[in-house]
Amino acid sequence: MRRIAGMGHWFTEAVGGANIWERREDKHVAQQHLASSLQSHLNADQRVAFDTMMECVAFTTMLAAMDGNSDKASFYLHGAGGTGKTFLYRALSAHLQGKVSRVS
Ligand SMILES: Nc1ncnc2c1ncn2[C@@H]1O[C@H](COP(=O)(O)OP(=O)(O)OP(=O)(O)O)[C@@H](O)[C@H]1O
């Protein structure tokens, strides 16, 4: 399956099947629901990390809007196996994808 963005829609080209147009807005709504669900399950440590990273994203976005500053922030998330790093990344990714069209 291949997805092509354009004109406010996603064109989903299903191999060997029907071609479907999906509204980009629907994607955002789906991501917002997922983000809300994941965030509601964050434990205390994951919540601190989530809030810290989102504050930094908001700050760098504000600087970029004000003066074109393109500085980027990096985070190093450390934790033993199974402590919830991937879960946290999924919450962050869903939250950002619910707001903007591209998260890399
Ligand atoms: N806040 C949470 N609420 C519910 N389940 C959680 C939460 N955090 C993590 N989990 C679950 O715990 C398990 C381990 O979490 P996760 O895979 O995110 O850990 P990890 O730190 O990325 O592990 P690894 O370093 O081994 O890849 C997963 O099944 C995940 O869904």
Does the Cβ of 84 fall within 6 Å of ligand 1? yes
Does position 33 have pLDDT exceeding 70, yes or no?
yes
Mean pLDDT throughout 22-46?
83
Which residue's CA is the closest to the ligand 1 atom numbered 7?
Answer: 84
* ipTM value for the complex: 0.97
Q: What are the residues whose beta carbons fall under 8 Å from the beta carbon of 61, sequence distance 6 or more? A: none
By three-state DSSP, how is residue 31 classified? helix
* Cα 97 to middle of ligand 1, angstroms: 20
Q: What is the pLDDT of residues 54-84, one digit of tens each?
A: 988 888 877 777 787 777 778 888 899 999 9
Average pLDDT, the chain: 76
Does position 87 have pLDDT exceeding 90, yes or no?
yes
Q: 73 φ, ψ to 5°?
A: -105, 145
Query: Would you list the domain boundaries of the chain?
Result: 25-97
Choosing from 38, 46, 86, 89 the residue with most ligand 1 atoms within 8 A of its CB, the one to mutate for a pocket test is 86
